[in-house]
Structure 1
């Protein structure tokens, strides 16, 4: 009886809170009508260009023919997914996508943090600004130009090829023709292009750290390395965790544009990822339904990884996206 009474009270309180919440929302909208008005175009943009086209994912379950149209194309269910899972390229593209992104997290995710920590310790403002400008500049170079530079530098007489020959004592032709060289070239060229830009958010987080924490560390006789480890890093940990969640949530997605500009049939063993495979099947071979199914599979895995990483972060650090 007591349990039933408690349940009734809980339900009654929940029902009574709903009108109160609605009234608070209406009151807030009346008070802050202009910010809500500014949000409306953004919502419309997301609905029209992001959520609206999602109905097109249904072609992953159809044998889509442009001449027949969306509604007249025959329904095939999970056929395209099964063909992908049983196909000869499934394990290759999944393995390459995961390895390329794991390399990116291991080296590309940590590099901006290290740069930001080092820049935060520089006392000379002129030198700090110079380093920041130099590291920011590659971010504004077109990806096509960057790919062209990589092709030139890794050619037979390119500066990177010559340097590698001098270090190892071995002769190399174009480095982009070696499948074992693709991942290092892809990842470290990406670090060169993005390290400065991605360090900005960490520098911003460091700028909000209470200076009294550093003063207390100075009074305890802490060295710069100790302050970096025990003050700076713990204070920017929430920012690192949030960005790490996003990074893990993109493990099954790669920058296929750059890969397409760099890879060739000789390096498919290590360079062919889900994005480039979808590009070849969807645009070159016009297998629209099959490529949509592969893309949907990748997106679902990414969403699962994002959810899992967010849940672990919430339990371990109390920092999460939701």
Structure 2
């Protein structure tokens, strides 16, 4: 008991520090989970959450029979997978190139510049992109016009819209990923490069046989952790940039839930879609943490 008392006197301030965060999680994350019952109801706001008529699995049946649900899931996975792939390749490449810079002030300056877009919201960036990609006055189409290319409506053409989402998302976020991979590069023993140089290896072979293998644990970790984001294609970005002309290629699960729940007031159906997405995401996140532990020895507990 004396040992337990000493432990408690030493540890209670740390536990007390958790109380505000725990309270916030309970209030904003767990209590709202009571709204999940709407997925099994024909929710009527005037009757309340527990007074609305119970319909069982009717909303889920309607979800399965909905004609566009397959396309919506495909759009979500397609855009998300492209973002994950590009979000790995570009930061890795930029981190390796930055690591080759000899002048530290140039490295720090460039690193700061590519990191700045991470702090800008999509509300602001969407206005910039709409102006830049405008088919009539946008600088991109003006530059293409110099080579005889006709104006392209990037944000109103189903063929171009998904790729604009991927490129703009990578431009905004690759600076953050670059910092992660630069940190991984600092853990590589410099003597390995010296030994490789003595053996006659050039910069390309040093990158291929030393840099990339040294970064591989963090690359595997980031890849496996991103598996849980396969159903998160970026609501903020797409909601601020899409329009009815590109619903065919731009409509994802989150925007569909917003339209069904907020605009069309089909609260039960929208909740059913969101609940299904949450269940699948939970399975994917659990699998990603297992894979992260299996291949990168990463543990959260």
Same fold (TM over 0.5): yes
- 1:159 correspondence with 2:143: no
The number of aligned residues is 300
Mapping of residues 77-226 of structure 1, within 5 Å: 77-155=56-134, 156-167=136-147, 169-226=148-205
Cα deviations by residue, 1:134-172 (Å, 9 ceiling, x for unpaired): 2122222331121111111111231112334445x4422
Cα distance in 2 between the residues matched to 1:23 and 1:308:
42
Cα distance in 2 between the residues matched to 1:288 and 1:26:
51
Cα distance in 2 between the residues matched to 1:41 and 1:220:
57
- 1:70 correspondence with 2:49: yes
| 2:243 alignment partner in structure 1 | 264
| 1:3 alignment partner in structure 2 | none
Cα deviations by residue, 1:230-281 (Å, 9 ceiling, x for unpaired): 3333333332223222321111112112211111111111111111111111
Contact 2:95 2:178 in 1 (8 A): yes
Contact 1:161 1:175 in 2 (8 A): no
Cα deviations by residue, 1:180-229 (Å, 9 ceiling, x for unpaired): 11012111111111111221122222223333433443444433233333
| 1:10 alignment partner in structure 2 | none
TM-score of the superposition, structure 1-length normalised? 0.84
Cα distance in 2 between the residues matched to 1:299 and 1:165:
45
Cα distance, 1:26–1:203 mapped onto 2, change above 3 Å = farther
- 1:300 correspondence with 2:279: yes
- 1:273 correspondence with 2:225: no
- 1:238 correspondence with 2:217: yes
Mapping of residues 20-35 of structure 1, within 5 Å: 28-35=7-14
Greater shift, 208-217 or 246-255, is seen at 208-217
Select which of 279, 302, 309 maps to 2:288. 309
Cα distance in 1 between the residues matched to 2:2 and 2:198:
53
Cα distance in 1 between the residues matched to 2:176 and 2:106:
17
Larger radius of gyration: 1
Alpha-carbon distance, 1:26 to partner: 7.0
Cα distance, 1:29–1:216 mapped onto 2, change above 3 Å = farther
| 1:41 alignment partner in structure 2 | 20
Cα distance, 1:221–1:47 mapped onto 2, change above 3 Å = farther
Greater shift, 83-92 or 41-50, is seen at 41-50
Contact 1:64 1:289 in 2 (8 A): yes
Cα distance, 1:66–1:187 mapped onto 2, change above 3 Å = same
